[in-house]
Amino acid sequence: MIKTLYVRVVATFLAAVLFGLIAAFFITTTLFRGELTGQAEEEMMANSRVIAGIYSRLNAQVADDYMQSTCALISYRISLFDAGGLYKRYGAAKQAGADADADAVPDEIVRLVRSGVPHHFAPRAPERPVVGIPVQIGSETYAMFSELAGNKWGGIIRKVLLSALAFVLLAGSLFIFVAARYLVKPLQAMTAATRRMSKGDFNIDWKRDNRKDELGELARSFGEMARELKQMERMRQDFVSNVSHEIQSPLTSISGFSQILKRQGMSEEQRAHYLDIIQKESERMSRLSENLLELASLESEHHPFHPKTYALDEQLRQVIVACEPQWSAKAIQFELAMPCVKISADPDQLYQVWMNLIGNAIKFSPPNGTIAVTVKLTTDEIAVMIADEGIGISKADQAHIFERFFKADRSRNRTEGGSGLGLAIASKIVKLHGGTIGVRSEQGEGAEFKVTLPAI
């Protein structure tokens, strides 16, 4: 059983070459048979005239010896016919079977040749012609028919063809042995790399992407896949580390304060303070769990999506009103530029997006700051801009702001209770609606988030 691609390539090539050589042999023989036959007839006709000329000038005994030696020398069979039929035969002995009729020349051809008209025909095969010429011996006219004792021309062409085809087969076999290794080697390297990746090793230095053929394209695609898998593995490890850290922190607080509550002689005020901390850490864990489930659902292909047409500006006002306790505590002012705009979307999902973006703007705005919410409608899209006067986001952090668990200001985000999942969830929801989300910010000059969605 052929198991390796290298063996299959070589075997397939050799089979194709053998088939081609056999077909070429028969096709070439057929194509050149007529030309070879014509050349053979011309040569035999010229030789026969020379032989007949010499034969007619010799006496009977010397003439017979001459004919026998000449036929043996040039591999001819010569037959002489007089008015009564077969007169004499020279050359190879008469064979049984198919060659037994070699001298059975039709009477009309004998009479034609004896009348002085040379003639040629092929009674058995095209490559075995028979030529007839008249011979004048004394006062009697004979018909002399010459035939090759063996297939001289056919044998020569077969030897030449077989030698050439054998050389082609040998040279082609050597070439395919080398070429097959050239073809299979990158596949073997990719197989070895795949085994390494299956064991979790994605540090593959791929150097086989300089080819310009299909294998080169496959190698480049394989290299891209390896790099993406390496990045995904790094993201997975970071995700596990971040989840573990986000869960471990509140668990540590809950465990520590639970131990403190076991002590005797604690005042009710202290006890209430510690219980409040435990409650906040529990709520934080609950929000983290809900966000993780929401993100996993958004990344799946079966997340619920129930679009309907509603007023987007009204929804934004509802979110601002819902956040009033937070922005009123910091005396934040809102600047609204929201014309009446209808949108077809899932209202619950977009509500979550606006709640996250406006909540972040409130969270990072200074006291007495201003938040601007602007809605613009074009022919094919709706743009929502939410700008604050907060601490801003650095250029380096802007490239990662929509990644899971990323926090631009980790110390402040920790005090505000953020998990780093809000913007990742918002980005997934916007993409699910066929829109885009981006940020424009300078360090210390606030940030503006822009969401574009398809218009009705």
In a domain, 54, yes or no: yes
- Distance from C-alpha of 118 to C-alpha of 112, rounded to nearest angstrom: 8
Bridge partners of residue 136, in order along the sequence? 141
Domain of 79, CATH number, reads: 3.30.450.20
Same domain, 383 and 422: yes
In a domain, 231, yes or no: yes
Bridge partners of residue 134, in order along the sequence? 143
Same domain, 211 and 316: no
Q: Which residues contact 251 (CB under 8 A, 6 or more apart)?
A: 281, 285
Same domain, 315 and 402: yes
User: Angle between the 422-432 and 268-299 helix axes, to the nearest 10 degrees?
Assistant: 30
Neighbours of 127 (CB within 10 A): 19
Contact between 365 and 389 (Cβ < 8 Å): yes
C-alpha gyration radius of the chain: 50
Q: Which long-range contacts (CB under 8 A, 24 or more apart) does 112-119 make?
A: 113/81, 113/143, 113/144, 113/145, 114/81, 114/83, 114/141, 114/142, 114/143, 116/141, 118/45
Is residue 341 classed as helix, strand or coil in its secondary structure?
coil
Same domain, 287 and 349: no
Which two structure tokens, joined as six digits, stand for 409? 């200001």
Same domain, 331 and 293: no
Same domain, 53 and 68: yes
Contact between 33 and 25 (Cβ < 8 Å): no
Position 93, amino acid: A
pLDDT of residue 149: 73
In a domain, 190, yes or no: no
- Distance from C-alpha of 396 to C-alpha of 398, rounded to nearest angstrom: 6
Instruction: Out of 248, 280, 303, pick the residue that ends a domain.
Output: 303
- Distance from C-alpha of 35 to C-alpha of 42, rounded to nearest angstrom: 11
Position 24, amino acid: A
pLDDT of residue 101: 43
Number of Cα atoms under 13 Å in the Cβ half of residue 75: 9
Length of the chain: 456
Same domain, 44 and 139: yes
In a domain, 191, yes or no: no
Cα angle 163, 123, 65; round to 5 = 85
User: Angle between the 422-432 and 347-364 helix axes, to the nearest 10 degrees?
Assistant: 140
Same domain, 446 and 404: yes
Instruction: Out of 303, 338, 368, pick the residue that ends a domain.
Output: 303
Same domain, 14 and 73: yes
Same domain, 34 and 121: yes
Q: What are the start-end ranges of the E strands in 126-242?
A: 130-137, 140-148
Same domain, 50 and 125: yes
In a domain, 421, yes or no: yes
pLDDT of residue 95: 43
In a domain, 167, yes or no: no
For tokens 């505590």, name the residue.
329
In a domain, 183, yes or no: no
Question: How many domains does one find in the chain?
Answer: 3
- Distance from C-alpha of 445 to C-alpha of 388, rounded to nearest angstrom: 9
Name the nearest CA neighbour of 80 among 172, 143, 174.
143
Is residue 383 classed as helix, strand or coil in its secondary structure?
strand
Is residue 116 classed as helix, strand or coil in its secondary structure?
coil
Is residue 409 classed as helix, strand or coil in its secondary structure?
coil
Contact between 373 and 362 (Cβ < 8 Å): no
Instruction: Out of 150, 170, 186, pick the residue that ends a domain.
Output: 150
CA distances (Å), origin 306, targets 288, 303, 353, 380, 404: 24, 10, 15, 21, 25
Same domain, 313 and 397: yes
pLDDT of residue 99: 43
Supply the range of the domain harboring residue 123. 5-91+102-150
pLDDT of residue 435: 93
In a domain, 173, yes or no: no
- Distance from C-alpha of 54 to C-alpha of 171, rounded to nearest angstrom: 50
Name the nearest CA neighbour of 364 among 406, 393, 396, 322.
393
Position 407, amino acid: K
Q: What is the pLDDT along the chain (456 residues), one digit of tens a residue?
A: 345 656 666 677 777 777 777 777 677 666 666 666 677 788 888 988 998 888 888 887 788 888 888 888 888 888 889 888 877 888 865 443 434 444 568 888 888 988 889 988 877 666 678 899 999 887 888 999 988 776 555 566 667 667 777 777 777 777 777 766 766 777 777 778 788 877 777 777 666 556 666 767 777 777 777 777 777 777 667 666 666 766 777 788 788 888 888 877 778 888 888 888 888 878 777 776 776 777 677 766 667 788 899 999 999 999 999 989 889 999 999 999 999 999 999 998 899 899 989 999 999 899 999 999 999 998 899 999 999 998 888 888 888 888 776 765 544 444 455 567 788 888 888 998 899 999 998 888 899 999 999 987
Domain of 261, CATH number, reads: 1.10.287.130
Which two structure tokens, joined as six digits, stand for 315? 């929804």
pLDDT of residue 333: 94
Domain of 337, CATH number, reads: 3.30.565.10
Is residue 335 classed as helix, strand or coil in its secondary structure?
strand
Which two structure tokens, joined as six digits, stand for 44? 């035999």
